[in-house]
Amino acid sequence: MFAIGYYIGLILIGIVAGFASGLLGVGGGFLIVPFQYFLLKYIGVEPGLAMLISFGTSLAIIIPTASSGAYKHSQKLDNIIEPGIKLGIFGIIGSFIGGFVASALPSRILEIIFGLLLLFIAIRNILSRDTKEKEAKFDFNLITIAVTGLFVGFSSGLLGIGGGIFLIVILTTILGFSMIRAIGTSSVFISLTAIGGTISYIISGWRVNTFPYSLGYVSIINFLLIACFSVPLAQVGAKYAHKLPEKRLKQVFGVVVLYIALKMLGVLP
């Protein structure tokens, strides 16, 4: 139905996003969304529809991808499951709401929001020097869990990403988590939060999305091809996350996010 190049593009997205997901604990959505968007526009899909399909399908892919990475991290870290689940419960609610808000906003507005937030996070990680665990500025209690979970979950649903790019910053700078523990906790959180956003995109796009073989704004073809490669590659990325120095992880994370931010803002062609 589609040109062979489209299927090859989906496979490459799965490989790159899966590895990044496990390595950085970010779900891979910050790569899946823009790459899918560019690919869909390339085959002639209208930008607004392409953006919503990218968001909805990205969240669906993140569920198995992040779960794969979380499983690998849990074998190395024994203090990530409980905080990840606590945050994820509120994240599901926030993501569900964010998905409905996204369907009502113009695609260019979403691109700009997406790009600016990524730009801030990229610069902060590239310039960061201290990789040791810091003293927490706030206690990890019900209030901080609820606020963090809802905020990151809403961002996840709104932008079709797992939310790890935001959660990792909060955990390491405000709640005193080390980088590697934040990555592991984020993987657990993301695998839960993406559920709420996926459901909202299926509902909001039901009988509205004209893209073939879709459930609402979730493309079945994109989901299957990307997930088949992203899930196993997430475990490979998670394995390497425990071998690289934390400072290097932050720099890699920052450089990759910076590129995507500039791309979404239209600075790069």
Which among 268, 234, 264, 262 has a CA at the least distance from the CA of 55? 264
pLDDT reading at 121 higher than 80: no
Decide if 156 is inside a domain: yes
Do residues 33 and 58 touch, judged by C-beta distance below 8 A? yes
Angle between helices 179-204 and 47-74 (to 10 degrees): 140
Decide if 128 is inside a domain: yes
Q: What is the pLDDT of residues 5-14, one digit of tens each?
A: 999 999 999 9
Please report the pLDDT score of residue 255 as a whole number: 81
For the chain, give the percent of residues with pLDDT over 90. Answer: 39
Decide if 269 is inside a domain: no
The dihedral through the CA atoms of 65, 160, 259, 45 has a sign that is: positive
Decide if 169 is inside a domain: yes
Decide if 237 is inside a domain: yes
What number is the average pLDDT over the span 36-45?
92
Please report the pLDDT score of residue 169 as a whole number: 82
Between 245 and 88, the higher pLDDT residue: 88
Decide if 108 is inside a domain: yes
Decide if 114 is inside a domain: yes
Count up the domains in the chain and report the number. 1
Decide if 19 is inside a domain: yes
Q: What is the pLDDT of residues 122-159, one digit of tens each?
A: 787 677 655 455 567 788 899 999 999 999 999 889 88
Q: What is the pLDDT of residues 208-242, one digit of tens each?
A: 888 999 999 999 999 999 999 988 888 888 788 77
For the chain, give the percent of residues with pLDDT over 70. Answer: 93
The mean-pLDDT minimum among 33-37, 83-87, 223-227 falls in: 33-37
Q: Is 167 exposed, middle or buried (0-12, 13-18, 19+ CB in 10 A)?
A: buried
> Model pTM?
0.83
Q: Which of 50-59, 106-115, 234-243, 252-261 has the highest mean pLDDT?
A: 50-59
Q: What is the pLDDT of residues 166-219, one digit of tens each?
A: 898 889 888 888 888 888 899 899 999 999 999 999 999 998 888 999 999 999
Task: Look up the domain containing 150 and give its range.
Answer: 4-264
Tokens representing residue 223 in the block:
């989901």
pLDDT reading at 71 higher than 90: no
| Distance of alpha carbon 167 from alpha carbon 100, whole angstroms | 21
pLDDT reading at 85 higher than 80: yes
Task: Round the average pLDDT of the chain to a whole number and report it.
Answer: 85
